[in-house]
Chain A
Amino acid sequence: MSQTFDIKRFGKVLAYDIRRLSPRNFRSGERTGNMGINIISFAFMPVIISLVAILMGEQAAGVPVWVRWFMLLFTAVIMACLVPEVHYNAVNQKKGGSYYAMLPASKLEKYLSMLLMTLVICPLLTFCGAFVVDTLITFLPLHVNEGYLWQIDSLLGHFGINPYEGLPAIYSVRAYMVAIFGYILFAMAFVFGNTLFRKSKTALTMLCLFGIGFVVSVVSVLVTAWLVADLGIEIDLADRVMNVATGSIYGWVNNIGLGMQVLLITLLVYYSWRRIKRMGY
């Protein structure tokens, strides 16, 4: 039996992690990652919106499908951000960490299980639960939802992620890839933050992301201002180039974006793995 990775043992670790997912393992009210609360809050959001509308004297209008899709995906992403702290809070802590580290499985198996739980299982469970509740609410004669979730033509188009829908399918695939990698990158930041910080892990990771986002925005604005002022480039040049050769430009922009995302994900995976591997308790 391999000491680095054994599929049977990995299955045991995953089953162990899933069993411990149960809310009974967390003191009620102490943690915010309770999946049930997430699903219920999402599912009742349209009801709450309609109630607020009625209270404000407006006629309750059904919540559009794309808005609910947005809420559903947002809930799933929030779940992915919370799982590291809620479920693996102890990995870098003296008390609980040693217990997890002493579990007879390899470090790689434990780490992969953590990634699978954070990136796939917990968000997917949240997504499925919320989907079912939303369908039930739409089915009931409450008129708070405007159609079922599957009654949508283009999801990314609504979010403005894929404004080139008329182009060959490859560009839509790339747009979906950018969205998926973006999600993985965002969630991995929280996995890394969970190994880095000892307390308030989600909040501190979020603060760091805001900080990085702020710096990147300021640099972008400065670079654009410099290009416009010093080099005399017209602001709408990029748009005009896009209109002339939409396909190739869009493809290149997407490729660069994807490349950056893959690079950052690789770095986050590497450093969070390194920290977990070298952790002393």
Chain B
Amino acid sequence: MIEIRNLDFSYRKMPVFSGINLTFPEGSIYGLLGENGVGKTTLLKLICGLQRPTVGTCTIDGLTCHDRRPEMLQRIVFLPDEVLLPDNSTPRKYVDELAPFYPNFAIGTFLHLMQELEVEPDRKFREMSFGQQKKSLIAASLSLGTDYVLFDEPTNGLDIPSKAQFRAILSRRFEERNTIIISTHQVKDVENLIDPIVILSHNAVLLDAPVQKITEKLFFEYGGEKRDDALYSELLPGGYMNVVANERGEESQLNIEALFNAVLRNKERIKELFA
């Protein structure tokens, strides 16, 4: 389990987080959402131990993250948005180099994923498009056999079929012992995949709730008139989509983009609703 307690973090004099608390228990694919610059990548780096909290703690299974002990590093893989790849190397050589460090690494899984993502494992990185490189890294990350997988904008650079493949692979390969955290702006790419959803704002966590709780508290109404009591409204073909407080306990289909906008525009109201 990943636990963040009373964490403060700042880049020199620019505060990013102030006293945040978050818990990521095993068995879920978390969606980490937020506007540009709120600290989504920083939060992932804090979890990986690539940044040190100014105050507070961040632990993985009780191990302090910024110590970056081998025992902890063996359980986690982080795929940043941009990776510096050895141009003349190939995905197969890349994982061959990493394999000795990860006892649960499975070459069969890697080759299977590469095949599914339609990337040749023996092709040089320099001959690949950005999307193909990304797919290779996704396959490598998922075949290392770590309990914790952190993705920063994993669908950036992927074409539409690849995004669907990514969702399918993640759903299929996900196990109860795993914790996957996906930080993204492309909420449509991970809709129906991420649950719970964490929305960050400057210095704080605005929402941290499973989809079931979100749909219990909020009602997503499609095709009606614009409502005055709506937390967020958006004109779509065929009428308005409104996000309102679910006072009558009605069931509705979550729209992450609308949720995100509703949360950003009604921070205090959302806090009250989810308290």
Query: Residues of A with Cβ closer than 8 Å to B?
Result: 1, 3, 6, 9, 12, 15-16, 19-20, 23-28, 90, 93, 95-96, 98-99, 101-107, 109, 278, 280-281
Contact = CB atoms under 8 A, between A and B. Distances in A.
Contacts of B70: 1, 3, 6, 9, 104-106, 109
Contacts of A26: 86-88
Given A3-B71, A102-B48, A102-B50, A27 B101 contact: no
B255 interface: no
Contacts, number: 80
B126 interface: yes
Contacts of A280: 45, 50-52
Contact of A104 (B50, B73, B83): B73
Interface stretch (B18-26, B74-82, B115-123, B209-217): B74-82
B50 A20 contact: no
Interface of B: 45, 48-52, 68-71, 73-74, 76-78, 80, 82-84, 86-89, 97-98, 100-102, 126
A104 B88 contact: no
A98 B48 contact: yes
A99 B101 contact: no
**Closest 5 A/B residue pairs (Cβ):** A96-B84, A104-B73, A24-B88, A25-B86, A95-B84
A12 B102 CA distance: 11
A98 B86 contact: no
27 contacts: A3-B69, A3-B71, A6-B70, A9-B70, A12-B100, A16-B97, A16-B100, A16-B101, A23-B88, A24-B86, A24-B89, A26-B86, A26-B88, A27-B87, A95-B80, A98-B45, A98-B48, A99-B84, A102-B50, A102-B68, A102-B73, A102-B77, A103-B98, A104-B70, A104-B102, A105-B101, A109-B70
Contacts of A93: 84
A93 B80 CA distance: 13
